[in-house]
Amino acid sequence: MPNRRQLLALTLGTLATLPALTLPAMASDGNGSKRLDNGLTEITGFLDRAETRGDAHVLIINAGGEEWTVDFPAPPANANDQPIGLALHPGMVLTVQGHQAQDTAWRMRASRLIIDGTPYDL
């Protein structure tokens, strides 16, 4: 039968290994950025907020710990020209494909939004 000291050491040892086990699982949640074969950048992450700056529309997306600024000239519309802006809400997961800015690491111009598996070309 283990004494109190042995139980405490066993418990602390187990707790010390938990971060090593959970970090890889947290990192593989599918969020982040990658370069596609066609040269575009694709990011998948959580929508933080949507903004309008003059004539430009901007999405701020947290993708794997990187805060991306995504520009597009007009609100995206579906095949019936219905704006999908109402479907965008903070906290939702979306994928954006587009051209990464040359002057900054986490800025891009969107050419496609993918929401719940449905692509919207811009």
CATH number at 47 reads 2.40.50.140
Give the Cα separation of 34 and 47 in Å (integer): 17
Residue 58 lies in a domain: yes
- Which domain covers residue 57, as residue numbers? 32-121
* pLDDT reported for residue 84: 56
Chain-centre distance of CA 15, in angstroms? 30
Residue 23 lies in a domain: no
Mean pLDDT of 68-82: 69
Mean pLDDT of 96-122: 86
Residue 64 lies in a domain: yes
Which has more pLDDT, 64 or 73?
64
How many C-alpha atoms does 69 have within 13 Å on its Cβ side?
11
Residue 87 lies in a domain: yes
Answer whether residue 70 shows pLDDT above 80. yes
Residue 102 lies in a domain: yes
Residue 59 lies in a domain: yes
* Contact residues for 89 (Cβ-Cβ < 8 A; gap 6+): 47
pTM of the full structure? 0.64
Give the Cα separation of 46 and 93 in Å (integer): 5
Tens of pLDDT, residue by residue over 1-24, are 555 554 444 444 444 444 444 333
Q: How many domains does the chain have?
A: 1
